[in-house]
Amino acid sequence: MRRILLGLVCALTVFMDGAPVTAGSAMSEELRTYFLVLRHIRDIYIDELPPDTLMHAGVRGIVRALDPASEITFDEMADEGGAGWKESSISFETIARTIDKRSFYKVGADTLIRFGIASVMSILDPDTVFMEKVFLESFNIGVRGEYGGLGFRIQVIRPDSAIAVWSLLHKETPAALAGVKSGDIIIAIDDTATTLMTASDAAGKMRGLAGTPTTLTLKRAGVEEPIDISIVRAKVHVESVPYYGMLPDSIGYVKLDQFQQDSSSEVRTAFENLIGRGMKGLIFDLRGNGGGLLQEAVKIADLFLPKDRLVVFYAGRAYKDTSRYKTSHRPIYGEGPLVILVDGASASASEIVSGAIQDWDRGLIMGSPTVGKGSVQQPVPIGDRAQLKLTIGAYFIPSGRSIDKRMRKDSTLLALSSKKFRTRIRNRIVRGGRGITPDIATSHRRRTPLFAQLAGWRTLNSQFFRFARQANVNHPDLTPDFVADDRILDEFRRFAKEREFDYLSDLEFQLKRLEERVVKEEEMEKLGKPLRRLKEEIDEIEEKHWDANEEIIKWKLSFDILEKAFGLRAAYAYDAGVDPQILKAREVLGDPVEYESWFQRLEIGVADEDVVAAATDTSNLETRDAGLSGVVPAVPEKANSNR
């Protein structure tokens, strides 16, 4: 089925006077789901899309369900105005029912329509997602912060094709209380072998109603025979703050992993504890935090900013009035020195908090530019089996700038704003449309090829994990202040060698390609000696790579061994004392002169000498009123509905 002439199907539609081809109830049910998705896109999606554009995308999807290589044209449908919603809906339904009933390839109605929905999603932004029940469950856990289960993170590992207990959430989970340890290998769940299970499959079998039992069969380091552990499921709370503590010089440190229900309460508790212990400066770590609930972001900003300060507002095509969120209480940490750490994985709610702090000149942002996810998603139920997470608007932070990088699903950047805005207190220049640019640019530890290979592809075959799970057995005298030394490093290298780990540097890879191209025997005889000598030299270079990576390998060994032996809090406590970005933040917070100097920069993220001329050019500087309104984007008069 290489080409479909849509005009022929449209002719069929006209001939039947709008009545779709009769088909079974399965297709009717799936079509109801499809049109419900499209109705919400039509009514509240951030951009208004022509009906025929969505119809074409849906048709391409169901055609690809039959043959991924299929092509389709819509020439016969083209006209100046395009098809309206009714015409497009009838055309799509007719095509779907015709294919379902008459196609040579037999594909289930649910598959056809899911391909159609997926194709529609592909022309929207990356954050608009259609989630079936299995993915919806994980999404809801991230929002609620709790679920009925056992309380640990899992990972598929190779070459066992087994499920590993990657880390325990905390010491009070049902699994931890029953005796499950981080590093255990789950070989069966209720007598069902985990071999070839996906992580989602395993998680689905282990989750369930609180109060119901399950039995795990485990393989544990240092124990020859498998262990059966029976566990009663319970409601498990996923902590938003995995660690907080006091660093030297009375600098507080709080790490926030996600913005879920009650995250602000956890952060408040951490702040109150540190303030009570005499905190003189604070590092608030949002690195790797992909966001979450808007209201929690506002509540956390409330901890830093005076009452009635604007935190964020948003607007969209379907909403004539913007929604504004302000602080509502006196801050509990409203004046002390503050550094917020961000990186290329900090998104959404993380950007709202860090952006509000930056726009009100309340603290310094340190790290690397954030994701630029400044869009608003609204969860929309699609029956009882699915949910549409639909982008309905864009966030704007107090300076009036949008932080959203408008992207397609293929990561194509639609636009990059160069408009200038001003921070609200110090009048510094900031720019919109590019996420949050840090005041102070710093970078993570550099992941080298050797480190990446030791860590394993997506951690599926991590030498670090394998070594760390046995460390407690090999070193029963471990203490929470353990730090990997040369002896542990040598032990790790022997361990990796015994497991047949073979580091492949770029040089060795190129040499192997060269050897593969030497096909003639006489060529090999001629080049054999030089190639062997070259291999020896590459081996020497690779040995130097081990020396060059000594620091980062020791750090990873220390972190993983501490986590396996004493839990995540112990690992984070160690990391907070050696992380280069945290050390830099401590340095800035400990020097009032340097801390203040960063607020004197003319433009955030740009050296002063590069912006002297631009700083006096206000031709593209957004203006705002004297109040807290910010810059309110125009909302089209054609809005279909109001929230």
Task: Report the catalytic residues.
Answer: 348, 359, 373
Distance CA 96, CA 38 (A): 15
Cβ pair 175, 148 in contact under 8 A: no
Strands (E) across 222-299 are located at: 227-232, 234-237, 243-247, 251-255, 281-285
Cβ pair 270, 241 in contact under 8 A: yes
Query: Is the CA virtual torsion 167, 173, 176, 180 positive or negative?
Result: negative
Helices (H), 340-440: 349-359
DSSP state letters, 449-512: HHHHHHH-GGGTT-HHHHHHHHHHHH-TT--TT----HHHHHHHHHHHHHTT-----HHHHHHH
CA 543 from chain centre, in angstroms, equals 35
Long-range contacts of 201-206 (CB under 8 A, 24+ apart): 202/154, 202/163, 203/138, 203/149, 203/154, 204/134, 204/137, 206/149, 206/150
Query: Is the CA virtual torsion 507, 510, 512, 517 positive or negative?
Result: negative
DSSP state letters, 51-119: HHHHHHHHHHHHHHHH-TT---B-GGG--SS---HHHHHHHHHHHHHHHHHH-SS---HHHHHHHHHHH
Partnered with residue 243 across adjacent β-strands are 255
Distance CA 575, CA 565 (A): 15
H or E segment at 120? helix 109-122
Name the amino acid, one letter, at 56. Answer: H
Cβ pair 392, 380 in contact under 8 A: no
Q: What is the b/e burial string over 491-509, where b = at least 16 CB atoms within 10 angstroms of the residue's CB?
A: bbbebbeeeeeebebebbe
Name the DSSP class of 268: H
Query: Is the CA virtual torsion 594, 600, 606, 609 positive or negative?
Result: negative
Distance CA 538, CA 504 (A): 10
Helix (H, G, I), strand (E, B) or coil at 316: strand
Beta strand 386-396 with 129-132 is: antiparallel
CA distances from 398 to 284, 378, 515, 596 (A): 20, 22, 60, 21
